Amino acid sequence: MAEEKKIKRKKFDGEEVEIVGETYEEGVPDKGDNWRSKMENREQMLRYLKAGERYWFSDDWYGSERRKTPA
């Protein structure tokens, strides 16, 4: 990894501290690197999509934004 960029910022009390800056590498993602290219056939794609629908929309599973117990 390249040298870490450090940025000086002021805290709420006015004290100056060093924090880690940007850590990503600049560039553009590959166009061929998506979920569809990782699946070998149509059945795997359908299984992947059905699992996602079950996770988000089913009553017996809990999506990341859904509470386990109702408010």
Residue by residue, DSSP assigns 17-66 as: EEEE---SPPS---TT-SHHHH--SHHHHHHHHHHHHHHHH-SSS--TTS
Which of these ranges, 7-11, 21-25, 65-69, has the smallest mean pLDDT?
65-69
Residue 48 lies in a domain: yes
Range of the domain at 37: 33-64
Which of these ranges, 5-9, 32-36, 65-69, has the smallest mean pLDDT?
65-69
Compute the average pLDDT of residues 51-60: 72
- Percent of the chain having pLDDT more than 90? 21
Residue 38 lies in a domain: yes
pTM, full prediction? 0.39
Compute the average pLDDT of residues 46-55: 82
Residue 51 lies in a domain: yes
User: Could you give the number of structural domains in the chain?
Assistant: 1
Residue 52 lies in a domain: yes
